[in-house]
Amino acid sequence: MKTIQIILLSVLITFFSCKKPESFESKWTKLSYYPGNGEKSVRGIAVATGNEILVGWGFRNNRLWLYNTKTDTWQSVQKITEAERANAQTFSYNNLAFIIPTGSVYNVDYYDENDKVFKFLKYSSITKTFTILNDVTAFSGGKPGFIINDKAYFAGITYIDLNKEWGVGVTEYDIKTDTWNKINENSEINPDCEISFGIGNKIYLGKPSVDFVGETEQEFWEYNLETNTWKRLNNYPGQEGRASTGFSINGKGYIMGGYLNPDPLTYIKDIWEYTPETDSWEKLGEIPFKSESTRAVVIDNAVYFFLSSVSPYEVWKFEP
């Protein structure tokens, strides 16, 4: 009898200790809707400032909102200008959000036509105020920045004195000294690469945007800050397209979404994970919403998504 009880107890312990594997779908949570004008906020910004996220602007919108990740609530931010802007570049550092309105600007409030420089904005979640910093005279356009060792980096098409020179490479912003510096260029990299992110002390750049399948090779590159060198990696194996979203979290890189132009227009729902140690890609599954030029913000162990051009009111959280 004791033997039977022991066996039964062992079976029960085994049953309750065997945790069912977490599904990919369960890693996604739909959050409260963006309260602004979604259609007018297309190609706007989303950037962390502490545990809040500054969201808004866009092609025809000059309003900003703060999203609280702890309470899943929104509050309006005081309007600082009548200017509308799209495709502005951003990065965050502690309780500060940095914004470079280098994209489509519909007002000259933050652009000096004579000197060809953009005014650089800093927003504090503590004081709830904006500050204008030193002029931006060198930057890598079109993609969000990321922090490595207390400095911000941008990878992509690199401009010096804005409209005067350009190449493909990396620029660095020193937060403590409020200064910019172009640190590297590589003429072999396709200037249409639309994805960049940082992992450790390395910067990753690749996946050229295309309209049609097979239009160009889906190259991917790694830049090592310590050795100041570029290395060609394995190609991105996912679907070609444009307007994809990239980000990094917990030592991994991710690419998701986008679209292809053939008639009819096709939205890409795949999300791929990159492991730098093995230079390998793995398809994780399909995302739960249509994603075009979606803004991704990483806070703690979660990624928040805003302002997809085809579902601009939807807000999602992904926990890899």
Model pLDDT, residue 21: 63
Q: Residue 102 — pLDDT band, cuts 50, 70, 90? A: low
**Token pair 């703060």: residue:** 66
Q: Residue 11 — pLDDT band, cuts 50, 70, 90? A: very low
Give me the residue spans of the domains in the chain: 138-287
Please give the mean pLDDT across all residues of the chain: 84
pLDDT digits 0-9 by tens, 257-301: 999 876 678 899 999 999 999 999 999 999 999 999 999 999 999
Model pLDDT, residue 31: 98
Whole-angstrom distance, CA of residue 30 vs CA of residue 51: 18
In the predicted model, is pLDDT for residue 27 greater than 90? yes
Helices (H), the chain: 2-17
Whole-angstrom distance, CA of residue 243 vs CA of residue 266: 12
Report how far apart the first and last C-alpha atoms of the chain are (Å, whole number): 47
Q: pLDDT above 90 covers what percent of the chain? A: 50
Which has the higher per-residue pLDDT, 294 or 105? 294
Least confident span in 12-21, 30-39, 106-115, 247-256:
106-115
Residues 6+ apart with CB under 8 A from 256: 244, 245, 246, 268, 270, 271, 272, 287, 291, 294
Q: Are 140 and 155 spatial neighbours (Cβ–Cβ below 8 Å)?
A: yes
Tokens standing for residue 136: 């931006």
Q: Residue 163 — pLDDT band, cuts 50, 70, 90? A: low
Model pLDDT, residue 134: 75
Instruction: Please report, as a single letter, which amino acid is at residue 249.
Output: I
Measure Cα distances from 75 to 35, 42, 54, 55, 71 in Å. Answer: 9, 19, 10, 10, 11
The pTM of the full predicted model, rounded to 2 decimals, is: 0.87
**Token pair 């470079």: residue:** 100
Q: Are 200 and 224 spatial neighbours (Cβ–Cβ below 8 Å)?
A: no
CATH fold for domain 138-287: Neuraminidase (2.120.10)
In the predicted model, is pLDDT for residue 54 greater than 90? yes
Whole-angstrom distance, CA of residue 179 vs CA of residue 159: 15
230-252 as b/e: b if 16+ CB within 10 A: beebeebebbbbbbbbbbbbeeb
Whole-angstrom distance, CA of residue 88 vs CA of residue 235: 28
pLDDT digits 0-9 by tens, 182-218: 888 888 999 889 999 999 999 999 999 887 777 788 9
Give counts: helices (H), strands (E), the chain: 1, 30
Q: Residue 59 — pLDDT band, cuts 50, 70, 90? A: confident
Model pLDDT, residue 84: 60
Which has the higher per-residue pLDDT, 303 or 12? 303
Task: Average the pLDDT over 142-165 and give the result.
Answer: 76
In the predicted model, is pLDDT for residue 109 greater than 50? no
Measured in degrees and rounded to the nearest 5, phi and psi for residue 9 equal -65, -40
Model pLDDT, residue 112: 46
With vertex at residue 289, the alpha carbon angle to CA 313 and CA 55, rounded to the nearest 5 degrees, is 35
